[in-house]
């Protein structure tokens, strides 16, 4: 299959292809292996942070040649590694770049590279695969077309902190529903990833935590398994609770709360368990504070709504924790008039998240008032709950 940019982008880019871009591609065909290697290294330096150069090189046919060199057993390990690095850099450009790489069948080539004995080459292939799989244009099912791939990725988890970080990130982005959860679970994801939660690397811990967050979501089988798994003598729920502490990064607190929420909703943890009542719920209420970033407030409110949705006691507890109902009223104040006057970037950011904030607030209001009439009165129109008028929410 031809490996080209989409027609509109191709036409806009072709007129800007420079002599230097052509020079980079020509050097990939030199008969001297050392000159080819140097050409790839120079190309790597040229494309860093330069989307125009990336698009130029794709149009000129650099990708098929890079993939050819990457797959040749006669190529040196250093050359193959540098090719993987350049391809990863190209993938970090636009979505059209990723589409072009996919058209060139880059995923099978990189997966084949994972069979190499060389760790640096494996890490470079995984880093490129990670970049491609986290792109919204990449179908997640491409990870599951060959049943041996997941098994091999599980085996590579022990190789280095980089393989652990990249593989966990690939899993968390490619786990989109019960079928994917089942495949990963059946390949030993829980057992292989659990010990990464106590890694010395923050990135590894965080990616492992995200894996469990997507694996456990609406999945009783995974949740029931997680509650009984221990690492270094400590059960996973206890580890998650430690990650909820205020001194931990917000990203870690939120993701840990999502894990515990999923386990609670699945029945693996009781709704009156102290780790839910005294740790998870207060953490999620904190995430709704106006001191948090808008994205964090959205995620916090949606997760809290899911946690308390079916339990009246949790609903009552949430309604009286840290003035939550009053806090939610602030979700409808974006974008603010001050933003429009003083900070265009802030206004753009607020506009982008205004709908998400309102949607999250409505979800949480609905969960809060699902079973208790007294709570419903607290969020009735005219008090804290917003009223929709022809002029908007008031």
> Which are the contacts of 281, defined by CB distance < 8 A and separation ≥ 6?
304, 307, 308, 314, 317, 318, 321
Q: What percent of the chain has pLDDT over 70?
A: 85
Which token pair is 179?
């079928």
Residue 301's pLDDT band (cuts 50, 70, 90): very high
Could you give the count of Cα atoms lying within 13 Å of 47 in the half-sphere of its Cβ?
29
Residue 390's pLDDT band (cuts 50, 70, 90): very low
Which token pair is 349?
């950011």
Q: Calculate mean pLDDT across residues 58-70.
A: 96
> Is 194 in contact with 229 (CB distance < 8 Å)?
yes
What pLDDT was estimated at residue 4?
A: 55
Task: State how far the Cα of 287 lies from the Cα of 312, in Å rounded to an integer.
Answer: 21
* Residues paired with residue 393 on neighbouring β-strands, in sequence order: 388
Residue-wise pLDDT for 163-216, tens only, equals 999 999 999 999 999 999 999 999 999 999 999 999 999 999 999 999 999 999
> Is 303 in contact with 258 (CB distance < 8 Å)?
yes
Residue-wise pLDDT for 208-254, tens only, equals 999 999 999 999 999 999 999 999 999 999 999 999 999 999 999 99
Nearest Cα to Cα of residue 383 among 391, 375, 392? 375
Residue-wise pLDDT for 253-281, tens only, equals 999 999 999 999 999 999 999 999 999 99
> Is 314 in contact with 374 (CB distance < 8 Å)?
no
The answer to whether residue 147 scores a pLDDT higher than 90 is no
Between 91 and 361, the higher pLDDT residue: 91
- Chain-centroid distance, C-alpha 311: 29
Whether a cis peptide bond, with omega within 30° of 0, leads into 335 is: yes
pTM of the model: 0.87
Q: Calculate mean pLDDT across residues 73-89.
A: 96
Mean pLDDT of the chain: 88
């Amino acid at each position: 299959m031809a490996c080209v940019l989409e027609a509109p982008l191709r036409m806009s880019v072709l007129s800007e292809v420079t002599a230097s871009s052509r020079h980079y591609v020509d050097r990939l065909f030199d008969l001297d292996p050392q000159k080819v290697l140097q050409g790839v290294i120079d190309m790597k330096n040229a494309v860093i942070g330069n989307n125009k150069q990336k698009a130029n090189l794709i149009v000129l046919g650099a990708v098929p040649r890079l993939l050819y060199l990457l797959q040749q057993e006669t190529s040196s390990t250093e050359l193959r590694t540098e090719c993987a690095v350049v391809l990863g850099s190209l993938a970090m450009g636009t979505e059209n770049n990723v589409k072009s790489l996919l058209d060139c069948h880059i995923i099978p080539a990189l997966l084949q590279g994972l069979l190499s004995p060389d760790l640096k080459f494996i890490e470079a292939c995984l880093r490129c695969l990670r970049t491609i799989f986290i792109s919204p244009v990449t179908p997640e099912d491409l990870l599951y077309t060959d049943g041996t791939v997941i098994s091999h990725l599980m085996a590579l988890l022990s190789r280095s902190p980089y393989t652990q970080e990249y593989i966990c990130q690939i899993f968390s982005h490619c786990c989109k529903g019960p079928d994917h959860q089942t495949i990963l679970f059946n390949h030993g994801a829980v057992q292989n990833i659990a010990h990464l939660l106590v890694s010395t690397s923050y990135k590894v811990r965080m990616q492992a935590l995200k894996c469990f967050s997507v694996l456990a979501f609406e999945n009783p089988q995974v949740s029931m398994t997680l509650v009984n798994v221990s690492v270094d003598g400590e059960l996973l729920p206890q580890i998650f609770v430690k990650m909820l502490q205020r001194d931990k990064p917000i990203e870690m607190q939120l993701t840990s709360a999502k894990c515990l929420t999923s386990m609670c909703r699945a029945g693996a943890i009781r709704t009156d368990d102290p780790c839910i009542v005294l740790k998870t719920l207060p953490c999620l209420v904190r995430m709704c504070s106006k001191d948090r970033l808008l994205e964090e407030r959205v995620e916090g409110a949606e997760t809290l709504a899911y946690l308390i949705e079916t339990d009246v006691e949790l609903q009552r507890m949430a309604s009286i924790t840290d003035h939550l109902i009053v806090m939610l009223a602030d979700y409808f104040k974006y974008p603010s008039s001050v933003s429009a006057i003083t900070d265009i970037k802030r206004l753009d950011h607020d506009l982008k998240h205004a709908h998400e904030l309102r949607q999250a607030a409505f979800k949480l209001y609905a969960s809060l008032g699902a079973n208790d009439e007294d709570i419903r009165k607290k969020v009735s129109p005219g008090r804290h709950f917003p009223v929709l008028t022809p002029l908007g929410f008031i």
